[in-house]
Amino acid sequence: MSKDKPSENNEETLGRRELLKLGGIGLGTGLMGNAFGQQGHRATAQQQVSQWPSAFDPLETHPPYPPRDRPKPGEKIHVHDIEVTIEVHEIVPGVQTHMFMFNKSYPGPEIRVKEGDWVQINLKNSSPEFHTIHWHGIMVPMEMDGVPLGTQWPVGPNQEFRYLWKAQPAGTHFYHCHVMTTLHQQAGLVGSLIVEPKEPDIVQKTFPYKREYTMILSELDTNFVRNMMSEMVEMGVQMERMNHSAKMMREMNGKMMGWFKSKEEFVKAVKNGYIPPYLAARTGTAMPITPNYFMINGKSYPMTDPLMIRRDENIRVRLIAGGFMPHFIHLHGHDFWHVCQDGSPLAAPVRMNTIPIYPGTTSDIVIQGTNPGFWHFHDHSDLCTTNNGQHPGGMMTMLMYEDAREAGIKWEEVIAISS
């Protein structure tokens, strides 16, 4: 424990103001102006109180830069090459699945840029299916939004597409394929996208940290992915072959894919025996999606990476819901601070020990090293802590103190007793 910290066990007997006095921190304007007045945590840094933003700004959601700007001569552009292929991914030993991958990695490589920087992504599709990339949470110009047949043509096999946008707003975001999202995102096409603020990071200022972790939460139905990928690959392989035949291209336009010029044409085709692809018979599986693996960064427990911490250290954890289910991430033995939601700082940090993460959202939390030991950090929706129905597994990892031994934790004995 650092000396200038109030003792931890006073919480039940002392009110917030008294705590703050014990901590030697005055009631500055920053605290008073705080929207929810929850500035009650007892971290070490004195500057914390005045750093968190206070006033409500009705223009807060405006893009910091005009989204439709284009790079001016001399402006630096960060270029990333991203290739989509089909690879084999191992979730836990013995459980492998074919997946689409960005740069042979699941999740895709983390893209980390500074707010206001130009980012160019060269997407190369080396798979037999169509893909795009949607920049989730980024204020892009419409043409760069990656919605197939909405704002762009999907990128076909062996085609390339160049995305260009300015990184804004700052915060924790992610990117994913937007073609048949149920399959493509579930089957691997998701990655984290961190936009670091141009100004000094408010979270960093309030909770000085050296280490941070990104955790993409996702889930997968191995049977669905296997069946659908086979079906998609089959169609992709056929279309690739048809590209070489004028006869087959005509067939594809007229009678194969179910692309119709008008509603009337579609109705007529159904009358003539066309079975729309959303009928179970066409999807390759007659079953609804039943996820059987739940992952953190593509791995299920016990293969998940632990979060490492030391006493008195702050770590920042960026939680990204990159799947289709809500998760309720719970930390044992600690409370933590929920500091940012969907990239932006909350009006005030919120103290909690279980945070709901809904599909498409991101939540940044700060964990403080206050209780040395080895602690579970997992989805409290217990189905999600299984591997194919077997507990323990799934969306679970450990918060591990590197200095547990110095703190007097005789963990070998604990394990010997409990095992």
- What are the residues binding other proteins (CB under 8 A)? 86-88, 95-98, 128, 222-223, 226-227, 229-230, 233-235, 237-238, 241-242, 245, 247-248, 251-252, 254-258, 269, 272-275, 281-282, 285-287
Could you write out the DSSP letters of every residue in 226-241?
HHHHHHHHHHHHHHHH
Q: Which does 8 bind (CB under 5 to 8 A by kind): other proteins, Cu ion, none?
A: none
Q: How far apart are CA 155 and CA 158, in angstroms?
A: 8
Q: Which does 72 bind (CB under 5 to 8 A by kind): other proteins, Cu ion, none?
A: none
Q: Report the residue number, 28 or 258, with the smaller CB distance to other proteins.
A: 258
Q: Report the residue number, 372 or 394, with the smaller CB distance to other proteins.
A: 394
Q: Which does 316 bind (CB under 5 to 8 A by kind): Cu ion, other proteins, none?
A: none
- Please give the C-alpha separations between residue 333 and each of 353, 354, 403, in angstroms, as whole numbers: 9, 11, 16
What part of residues 56-75 is at the interface with Cu ion (CB under 5 A)? none
The answer to whether the bond into 276 is cis (omega within 30° of 0) is: no
Beta bridge partners of 399: 307, 375
Q: Which does 177 bind (CB under 5 to 8 A by kind): Cu ion, other proteins, none?
A: Cu ion
Smallest gap from Cβ 128 to other proteins, in A, equals 7
Q: Report the residue number, 247 or 261, with the smaller CB distance to other proteins.
A: 247
Closest among 225, 135, 234 to 177, alpha carbons compared: 135
Smallest gap from Cβ 229 to other proteins, in A, equals 5
Looking at residue 220, its amino acid is L
- As to burial, measured by CB atoms within 10 angstroms (0-12 exposed, 13-18 middle, 19+ buried), residue 196 is middle
Q: How far apart are CA 89 and CA 99, in angstroms?
A: 6
Smallest gap from Cβ 323 to Cu ion, in A, equals 15
Handedness of CA 272, 277, 279, 282 (dihedral sign): positive
Smallest gap from Cβ 184 to Cu ion, in A, equals 3
Q: Report the residue number, 184 or 299, with the smaller CB distance to Cu ion.
A: 184
Q: Report the residue number, 181 or 285, with the smaller CB distance to other proteins.
A: 285
Smallest gap from Cβ 85 to other proteins, in A, equals 9
Q: How far apart are CA 335 and CA 367, in angstroms?
A: 7
Q: Which two tokens stand for residue 393?
A: 């597994």
Q: Which does 184 bind (CB under 5 to 8 A by kind): Cu ion, other proteins, none?
A: Cu ion
Contacts of 41 (CB under 8 A, 6+ apart): 48, 337, 349, 351
Q: Which does 226 bind (CB under 5 to 8 A by kind): other proteins, Cu ion, none?
A: other proteins
Q: Report the residue number, 85 or 341, with the smaller CB distance to Cu ion.
A: 85
Q: Report the residue number, 111 or 155, with the smaller CB distance to Cu ion.
A: 155
Residue with tokens 């014990």: 22
Per CB under 5 A, 398 contacts Cu ion? no
What part of residues 176-195 is at the interface with Cu ion (CB under 5 A)? 177, 179, 184, 189
Q: Which two tokens stand for residue 362?
A: 């991101």
Q: Which does 73 bind (CB under 5 to 8 A by kind): other proteins, Cu ion, none?
A: none
Q: Which two tokens stand for residue 21?
A: 């006095």
Q: Which does 179 bind (CB under 5 to 8 A by kind): Cu ion, other proteins, none?
A: Cu ion
Could you write out the DSSP letters of every residue in 98-158?
EEEEETTBSSEEEEEEETT-EEEEEEEE-SSS-B--EEET----GGGS--BTTTB--B-TT
Q: Report the residue number, 150 or 258, with the smaller CB distance to other proteins.
A: 258
What part of residues 88-147 is at the interface with Cu ion (CB under 5 A)? 131
Interface contacts to Cu ion, rule CB under 5 A? 131, 177, 179, 184, 189
